[in-house]
Structure 1
Amino acid sequence: MNVNEYHIESDINKELDKLIALLLQKEEIIAFQKAESKVEESKWVQDTIEQIKNKQRDLVNFEYYEKPEAYKKTLDELNALNKAIDENITVQQYRASLVEANEVVQFLFKQIQTEVDSITD
């Protein structure tokens, strides 16, 4: 990498840092970060996620060792855990904010792509 390339890359990184700082000020991103913190801080949510992971591992084992009754029972338990987590208001808020934040980021990427495409045409 020559000095000129390093300078260009350095400039791009500086501008990227500015863009990220602006993005972090967007209402949708702030809402997502708050919702994410609530999910991470929720003992119930974290415990339920861990139970779901354990049930999924159990399902694989029961299927491999051909234990259909244990498989069915565990599948029912897993479905109940998934339903409980899907109905949790904290998780619902997190998922909704994730969709909104993703839309903002996707819009930004599309704008960047459009600009890059117009330069290279």
Structure 2
Amino acid sequence: MVDKKYEYEPVLDQVFYRLLEKLAHHDTIKEYRKLERQIGEHDGLQRLVDDIKAQQKEMVRFDHYDKPNAYKEAKRLADEKQQQFDNHPLVIAYRESLVEANDLLQHVTNRLQKKVNDSLEKKLNQKEEGEK
């Protein structure tokens, strides 16, 4: 995906950055970022991630060399570690906060879209009225 650069009127840039700043200070976003940071700094969780990746690499290797029993054991261990990771209280809280943060951003996006569309429709109707 290509990252497009758009140029806006300076006033729109200012409003946009104020909105971003307000979102960054919203409790929902702050909680999400806090949990994200805690997971990244949690040695036990990072060890689990490393173990899962190692087991997945083993699975690929065992599959390549046609060792079905070793593959099954590596998969069992990877699944066990994944379940430990998924059931960790920090991960559960993080995923819940991620849903809340996404809901907030979706709400803001929908409101912005509605406001812009309503404004454009109003201007279009005024233009049509002026042409009659």
Moved beyond 6 Å, runs of 4+: none
1:47 positional shift = 1.2
Tell me the equivalent position of 1:93: 93
Q: Root-mean-square deviation (CA), in Å?
A: 1.8
More helix by share: 1
Q: How does 1:1-121 map to 2 (within 5 A)?
A: 8=9, 10-121=10-121
Structure 1 residues 64 and 27 mapped into 2: Cα distance closer, same or farther (>3 Å)?
same
Alpha-carbon separation, structure 1, partners of 2:7 and 2:27 = 34
Decide whether aligned partners of structure 1 residues 95 and 6 sit closer, same or farther in structure 2, where only a CA change above 3 A counts: closer
Task: Please give the alpha-carbon distance, in whole angstroms, between the structure 2 residues aligned to 1:52 and 1:44.
Answer: 12
Q: Which amino acid aligns with 1:22?
A: K
1:119–1:75 Cα change, 3 Å? same
Greater relative CO, 1 or 2 (CA 8 Å, sep 6+): 1
Measure how far apart 1:117 and its partner are: 2.5
CA–CA distance in 2 between the matches of 1:105 and 1:21?
13
What TM-score, normalized by structure 2, do the two folds share? 0.79
Are the structure 2 counterparts of residues 6 and 41 from structure 1 closer, same or farther at C-alpha, using a change threshold of 3 Å? closer
1:83-116, Cα deviation, whole Å (9 max, x unpaired): 1111111111111111111110111111122223
Segments of structure 1 that go 5 or more residues without pairing to the other structure are: none
Q: Give me the identity figure in percent.
A: 27
Q: Which is greater in Rg?
A: 2
Note the alpha carbon deviations across 1:5-42, whole angstroms, 9 max, x for none. Answer: 9561x332222110011101211111111111110110
Structure 2, unaligned runs of 5 or more: 1-5, 122-132
| CA displacement at 1:61 relative to structure 2 | 2.2
> What is the letter of the counterpart of residue 67 of structure 2?
K
